[in-house]
Chains A and B, each alone.
Chain A
Amino acid sequence: MTTNGGGTLLALDGISKYYGSFKANDQINFAIQAGEIHALLGENGAGKSTLVKMLYGSLQPDEGRILWQGKPVHISNPAEARALGVGMVFQHFSLFDALTVAENIALAMPKDQKLSDIAKRLEAVSKEYGLPLKADARIHDLSVGERQRVEIVRCLLQEPKLLILDEPTSVLTPQESEDLFKVLRRLSSEGTAILYISHKLAEVQALCQNATILRHGKVVGECVPAEETPLSLAKMMVGDDIHEIAPRATTSDGAEVILQVSDLTADGLTGFETSLKHINFGVRMGEVAGIAGIAGNGQSELFAVLSGERTSAPDMVKINGEPVGHLSILQRRKKGAMFVSEERLGHAAVPEMSLSDNVVLTRHGLEKDLQTGPFIRHGTAKRLKDKIAQMFDVRKGNDDPTAMSLSGGNLQKFVLGREVMAGAKLVIVNQPTWGVDAGSAAQLRQNLIDLAAAGAAILVISQDLDELFEISDRLATMAEGELSDFVPTSQTNRNEVGLKMTGAFVPAEGASA
């Protein structure tokens, strides 16, 4: 491992950040050498984002010192961080949809630079590093991978000494990730230090020379990732309560088909974007079927059509052999189908409403005792809420908190629990563990597998390949509104699926169930 240039570039000395009595960061110490690729590992909520925001000047530490090339510095805003030589690639991109690539980059550059000069430089730099970009393209028209290129090139133009990347591969295909790693290794060899924030252990092992592990706002360990195993890293990250999914024998072949989708075609949600093109598949009793794909390739449209948020021709979607394409969500729920949508807050649950009120929203019409005439029976709603919380281990601050006050993992458990608590025959889940801590994610996955074992047909739409390989019996991939054939998970691998995610497959002809 090279660290050319050498010398400590950045050192943190006892950095703390408090939100009231909550310690987001507690006495953090670590150092990065020039040219080093250093991983910052930790679960959601471990304090990684808070820490890097302080390095980038978006937040101020309450205690401790930041040493830059040995000298204490006070970084009071992002412009000062950039002037020092800190570049940042954000997890949720800090881009402006309506503006062009050049304009987006200009906004992070010193004020005296002309737009036309920036356009020339960005095209030169992007070409040099193999990150092709057009200066006058609008961000709105770019793919997620291209948007990340804009973020990276924006940093590179500032010739940073330290490049911070926050969960950079969460939106990339395996191939795109590999391309990113090439760029990062090259930057490292040129002397740029890289702080790489992730919870993906395999890529940290492949890429990073050193790792600092955060848990509950504290540094709990440092290690050389290459010398560890994924399990030992995960244990450091999560503590000891790591839950391994129990493998199970697949016995669903020949079982009854619960969900049948036939030649499903639909316009995009906005009327202009990805449409669904002749989709055929079936999901059988007792199996978990997974659909992989990069966001925006028609998964949202597919979920909307399957759940009844949008209707289709009756025969396109069948539940238990009955045409339901024209039916509403409630009518489909009454047939034993349950749906957990992608966004927990705002779609699956109303953020400002209490959990018991949120129970009423999807269970009305299904539970007899929930209503008397037009009036809600709050007692029943509260009982249902308690039952869900108990069955699915939902940890909450008080008896009946608002949905938005729960952590992502706990709310996701609640939302899943609400749907599946009473004998679901078919469960369709979109992004079941997105933004959920590892402990809750493992439990959610186990819940899905248990449901399948109990005889339900499960369809999981996810961008997380590791998750799909862990729980699904069969896998298909969506790209540009087309769905590949389902193949048994044991007969495929991540690279093959990754290639399909970019659209490199012949679309399915005829039903594949």
Chain B
Amino acid sequence: MGMTEAILLTIATAATPLLIAAIGELVVERSGVLNLGVEGMMVMGAVGGFVIASLTGNPWIGVLAAIALGVITSLLFAFLTLSLAANQVATGLSLTILGLGVSSLMGEQFVGQAGKKLGNLDFPFLTDLPLVGPLLFGQDPIFYISIALVFGVSWFLFRTRVGLTLRSIGNNHHSAHALGIPVLRYRYLAVMFGGACAGLAGGHLSLVYTPQWVENMTAGRGWIALALVVFASWRPARVLAGAYLFGAVSIGQLHAQALGIAVPSQLLTALPFLATIVVLVLISQNVRATLINTPAMLGRPFVPDR
């Protein structure tokens, strides 16, 4: 395997958790809910995946556990913000803090232990093709799931009736309610999907990226995923592009250091957020495009009258 392949592969591995978490949050936000707890759900997925994989010896069960823990954490958020109409920003922030704390507690005995790594795919002959082989046929299974998620979510949102309904709720929950659409039921499902994705993204970290458990191992990736959704102006394909861009930046940073090029690492860490600010400024210039893509109800609680 050549140097180029190695770099491209590490970029894909770095981008995959960002992509999965962001695509989940995109669905949540398209339904009009702002869940700032991505980081918390992700770290819960990471610890759950690692612990269960260690205990069972099967990384696939670990993946399922990561997803399940993401969903459970998101349900707490959903109950507070949807059923009790609590403030979404405050609840999301609390969820992140809670997730970081609970995951440290759960993973305490597992710090430093060697984990179970989810193996890469290996097709005889295909994987051995130069360059494209390892990239297309030799990656970890979650990579393929992440790509499928982008296309699946895009198709779901813009080609299916249920997707249209979800977008309509994010655009105007009062109108949706007046038409008899069960706003809260859709939002519950959207938040749970977001939780599943965040959990899976966390599982990728502890089962593929660095198969071990370290406290706070998400290291801000949940926040990058949140920024990505805005960066992508709520379009799935742009989330894909953004995740690989940010993934490339973080890997480039490592290679730059190795080559002795002095780029302040703080600057590179800040780059996703700077890029998001730039994109926000750019998209706010086009009022019409903003109106079409931005979920107008984002972060606003909905209480049905009865």
Interface residues of chain A: helix, strand, loop or mixed (majority)? loop
The answer to whether A106 and B161 have CB atoms under 8 Å apart is yes
252-295 of chain A: CB within 8 A of chain B: 270-272
A94 to B165: give the CA distance in the assembly, Å.
13
| B178, B288, B293 interface centre (most CB from chain A within 10 Å) | B178
User: Looking at the complex, which of A96-104, A466-474, A479-487 is the stretch in contact with chain B?
Assistant: A96-104
- Name B residues whose Cβ lies closer than 8 Å to a Cβ of A: 161, 164-165, 167-168, 171-172, 174-181, 287-288, 291-294, 296, 305-306
29-66 of chain A: CB within 8 A of chain B: 57-60
Chain B residues whose CB sits within 8 angstroms of the CB of A58 once the complex forms: 177-178, 180, 305
The answer to whether B287 and A98 have CB atoms under 8 Å apart is no
Q: List 22 A-B contacts (CB under 8 A).
A: A58-B178, A60-B306, A78-B179, A78-B180, A92-B174, A93-B175, A94-B172, A94-B174, A94-B175, A94-B179, A95-B175, A97-B291, A98-B171, A98-B293, A99-B168, A99-B171, A103-B164, A107-B176, A138-B292, A140-B288, A141-B288, A272-B287
The answer to whether A97 and B164 have CB atoms under 8 Å apart is no
Nearest CB in chain A to that of B181: its residue: A107
A150 to B177: give the CA distance in the assembly, Å.
18
Chain B residues whose CB sits within 8 angstroms of the CB of A141 once the complex forms: 288
| Known pairs A77-B180, A138-B292; A59 contacts B172 (CB<8 A) | no
Chain A residues whose CB sits within 8 angstroms of the CB of B172 once the complex forms: 94-97
A142 to B296: give the CA distance in the assembly, Å.
18
| Known pairs A99-B164, A99-B167, A140-B291; A59 contacts B306 (CB<8 A) | yes
A90 lies within 8 A of chain B by Cβ: yes
A158: min CB distance to chain B, Å: 12
A63: min CB distance to chain B, Å: 16
A453 lies within 8 A of chain B by Cβ: no
Nearest CB in chain A to that of B168: its residue: A96
The answer to whether A140 and B305 have CB atoms under 8 Å apart is no
A238 lies within 8 A of chain B by Cβ: no
Chain A residues whose CB sits within 8 angstroms of the CB of B294 once the complex forms: 98
Chain A residues whose CB sits within 8 angstroms of the CB of B167 once the complex forms: 96, 98-99
92-124 of chain A: CB within 8 A of chain B: 92-99, 103, 106-108, 111
A79 lies within 8 A of chain B by Cβ: yes
Nearest CB in chain B to that of A141: its residue: B288
The answer to whether B291 and A98 have CB atoms under 8 Å apart is yes
A186: min CB distance to chain B, Å: 25
A79 to B177: give the CA distance in the assembly, Å.
11
The answer to whether A107 and B168 have CB atoms under 8 Å apart is yes
The answer to whether A107 and B288 have CB atoms under 8 Å apart is no
In the complex, how many residue pairs between chain A and chain B have their CB atoms under 8 Å apart?
A: 67
Interface residues of chain B: helix, strand, loop or mixed (majority)? helix
A90 to B161: give the CA distance in the assembly, Å.
23
A1: min CB distance to chain B, Å: 32
Chain A residues whose CB sits within 8 angstroms of the CB of B291 once the complex forms: 97-98, 140
| B174, B175, B293 interface centre (most CB from chain A within 10 Å) | B175
Chain B residues whose CB sits within 8 angstroms of the CB of A93 once the complex forms: 175
Chain A residues whose CB sits within 8 angstroms of the CB of B174 once the complex forms: 92, 94
A269: min CB distance to chain B, Å: 11
A272 to B165: give the CA distance in the assembly, Å.
29
Chain A residues whose CB sits within 8 angstroms of the CB of B181 once the complex forms: 107
A150: min CB distance to chain B, Å: 12
A98 to B293: give the CA distance in the assembly, Å.
7
B30: min CB distance to chain A, Å: 11
B182: min CB distance to chain A, Å: 8
A94 to B179: give the CA distance in the assembly, Å.
7
A272 to B174: give the CA distance in the assembly, Å.
27
Which 6 pairs from chain A and chain B are nearest by CB? Answer: A78-B180, A94-B175, A94-B178, A96-B171, A77-B180, A98-B171
Nearest CB in chain B to that of A82: its residue: B180
A99 to B171: give the CA distance in the assembly, Å.
8
A138: min CB distance to chain B, Å: 7
The answer to whether A98 and B292 have CB atoms under 8 Å apart is yes
| Mask: chain A, 125-148; 1 = CB below 8 Å from B; 0 = not | 000000000000010110000000
B11: min CB distance to chain A, Å: 34
B302: min CB distance to chain A, Å: 14
Chain B residues whose CB sits within 8 angstroms of the CB of A140 once the complex forms: 288, 291-292
A121: min CB distance to chain B, Å: 16
The answer to whether A98 and B179 have CB atoms under 8 Å apart is no
Chain A residues whose CB sits within 8 angstroms of the CB of B165 once the complex forms: 107
A488 to B48: give the CA distance in the assembly, Å.
77
Nearest CB in chain B to that of A104: its residue: B168
The answer to whether B305 and A79 have CB atoms under 8 Å apart is no
| Known pairs A57-B180, A59-B306, A79-B180; A96 contacts B175 (CB<8 A) | yes
A272 to B291: give the CA distance in the assembly, Å.
13
| Known pairs A79-B180, A107-B179; A97 contacts B306 (CB<8 A) | no
Which of B164, B175, B305 is A59 in contact with, Cβ under 8 Å? B305
A183 to B292: give the CA distance in the assembly, Å.
31
| Known pairs A78-B178, A106-B164, A108-B179; A97 contacts B171 (CB<8 A) | yes
A60 to B304: give the CA distance in the assembly, Å.
13
A111 to B167: give the CA distance in the assembly, Å.
16
A60 to B175: give the CA distance in the assembly, Å.
18
B103: min CB distance to chain A, Å: 37
A1 to B255: give the CA distance in the assembly, Å.
85
Other contacts beyond A94-B179, A107-B181: 9, CB < 8 A: A59-B306, A92-B174, A94-B174, A94-B175, A95-B172, A97-B172, A98-B294, A107-B165, A111-B161
| Mask: chain A, 69-96; 1 = CB below 8 Å from B; 0 = not | 0000000011101100000001011111
Chain B residues whose CB sits within 8 angstroms of the CB of A271 once the complex forms: 287
Nearest CB in chain A to that of B177: its residue: A58
Chain B residues whose CB sits within 8 angstroms of the CB of A111 once the complex forms: 161
Chain A residues whose CB sits within 8 angstroms of the CB of B288 once the complex forms: 140-141, 272
A103 to B157: give the CA distance in the assembly, Å.
12
A108 to B176: give the CA distance in the assembly, Å.
9
B184: min CB distance to chain A, Å: 13
A272 to B284: give the CA distance in the assembly, Å.
12
Chain A residues whose CB sits within 8 angstroms of the CB of B164 once the complex forms: 99, 103, 106-107
Chain B residues whose CB sits within 8 angstroms of the CB of A57 once the complex forms: 180
A111 to B291: give the CA distance in the assembly, Å.
26
Nearest CB in chain A to that of B286: its residue: A272
A58 to B178: give the CA distance in the assembly, Å.
7
